[in-house]
Amino acid sequence: MVAENRVIVELAAIPENVGVARLMAAMVAAQAEFTVAEVDEVKLAVSEAVTNAIVHGYRGDSRQMVRMEAALEDGELTIVVIDHGRGIEDVALAMQAAVTTDPERMGLGFSFMEAHMDQVEVTSQVGQGTRVSMRKRPAAKDVASLKGS
Ligand SMILES: Nc1ncnc2c1ncn2[C@@H]1O[C@H](COP(=O)(O)OP(=O)(O)O)[C@@H](O)[C@H]1O
Ligand SMILES: [Mg+2]
């Protein structure tokens, strides 16, 4: 098990790189005490955040880059996904379930991220971009700390 790690990648804003981001995040998560099911949750959350950066942030402009940072600190995973795209006018509204600016989509991306991660923080500025920071701690580790081990 690895308690401390830091991986930073820049991905061209093409849909094919959602899978690349998922795998990299999963590999970092797998170094900590996450179960296979928890790693799957991390993969889902990362997929949603990176898809949003590509689809909404950059609107498919494949020359742009999405940055993903995956870090383990004291066994806790932090994933940060950053784009320098359009930004979000009203973050609180955008994060509500079923709110989308694209009628083809379901508006559940942020809800999935919040369901699968312990904490999701979004900062955004119109015309500047968006930063999504997500944290997750292995559930088993909480049990261990309750027992005082
Ligand atoms: N990185 C981003 N850049 C710009 N807008 C975003 C970004 N991420 C999310 N949004 C906005 O927030 C809305 C809600 O996102 P989400 O919950 O993932 O639902 P969906 O992607 O299905 O629309 C999007 O429709 C979009 O307007
Ligand atoms: Mg989405």
Which CATH number do you get for residue 109? Answer: 3.30.565.10
pLDDT of residue 123: 98
| 85 vs 52: CA distance, rounded Å | 10
* Average pLDDT of every residue of the chain: 94
Residue 12 lies in a domain: yes
One-character DSSP codes across 6-54: EEEEEEESSTHHHHHHHHHHHHHHTTTT--HHHHHHHHHHHHHHHHHII
Task: State if pTM tops 0.75.
Answer: yes
For residue 98, name the pLDDT band (cuts at 50, 70, 90). very high
Please indicate, yes or no, if residue 148 is contained in any of the structural domains: no
- Confirm whether 149 is domain-assigned: no
Task: With respect to residue 147, please indicate whether it lies within any of the assigned structural domains.
Answer: no
Index of the ligand 1 atom closest to the CA of residue 81? 1
- Of 38, 41, 52, 137, which is the active-site residue? 52
- Local structure of residue 26 (DSSP, 8 states): H
Lowest mean pLDDT among 34-43, 77-86, 91-100, 134-143: 134-143
What value does the mean pLDDT take over residues 104-120?
97
Distance (Å) from CA 6 to ligand 1 centroid: 26
Q: Does pLDDT of 78 surpass 70?
A: yes
Q: Which residue range(s) make up the domain with 83?
A: 5-142
pLDDT at 2: 85
Amino acid letter, residue 135: R
User: Is ligand 1 within 6 A of the CB of residue 83?
Assistant: yes
What is the number of domains present in the chain? 1
With a cut of 80, say whether residue 6 has pLDDT above it: yes
Looking at residues 54-58, what average pLDDT do you find?
98
The ligand minimizing its distance to the Cα of 110 is 1
Q: Whose CA is nearest to atom 20 of ligand 1?
A: 107
Q: Is the pLDDT of residue 33 over 60?
A: yes
Instruction: Report yes or no on 103 lying in a domain.
Output: yes
Annotation says 4 is catalytic: no
Q: What is the rounded average pLDDT of the residues 127-131? A: 98
The number of beta carbons lying within 10 Å of the beta carbon of residue 49 is: 32
